[in-house]
Structure 1
Amino acid sequence: MMIDYQVGEYYTIKEDHDSVYDFPDGEYKLKIIMEGFPEKVIYTEDELAIAEELWLEGFEGLEQYKIDLEGNWYYFEFPENKNKVEYMWIPESIVIDVFE
């Protein structure tokens, strides 16, 4: 089932997601939806580098790289967590797999 993600709404992590990233439990607030890889910093200087490293690095030359690079990107406010991650850009393919 496809969710119609809405800015300002809260989402939680699916128990059966396939992402290797360790998403903390709690509610995530969707702040921004952007078409294509974001080009402007919203909160911290390194957020775009982190997004590129986490979600795109290693996929260069593969179809998934192009899909993620050109697809929608979602900017989430994270729940309080041990890694001190406050906000993160996440590509649509991961959002669909991880959030409900």
Structure 2
Amino acid sequence: MPLPKPAEMSQDPDLRATLLKWARKFVDSEAAADRVVQRTINVICDNPELLDGAHMNEALFALLRRYAFDENDLRASRQSGSASPAFDDTSNKEDLQTE
């Protein structure tokens, strides 16, 4: 896929559609995929030199994949953070019962 010029990337529907297709394979929601795609496009627009060279698609995919993993890590930390208080409350109840 030939990439558009950096100034045109944020508005290119074909690029966005391709990135969404890739992102959906790594994250579990459409909202997360949209965030990953937007972050990828923003970085490429700000740093077009990241795509210099013969392997532009691979570089773009690697960048998107890194942001998808970041998104999954963030989701996991949010889930574990919200689950921790319930776990702590349960352990405190058990401690009280044994006293």
TM-score by length of 1: 0.30
More strand by share: 1
Higher relative contact order (CA 8 A, sep 6+): 1
State the structure with more CA Rg.
2
Higher helix share: 2
**TM-score when normalising by structure 2:** 0.31
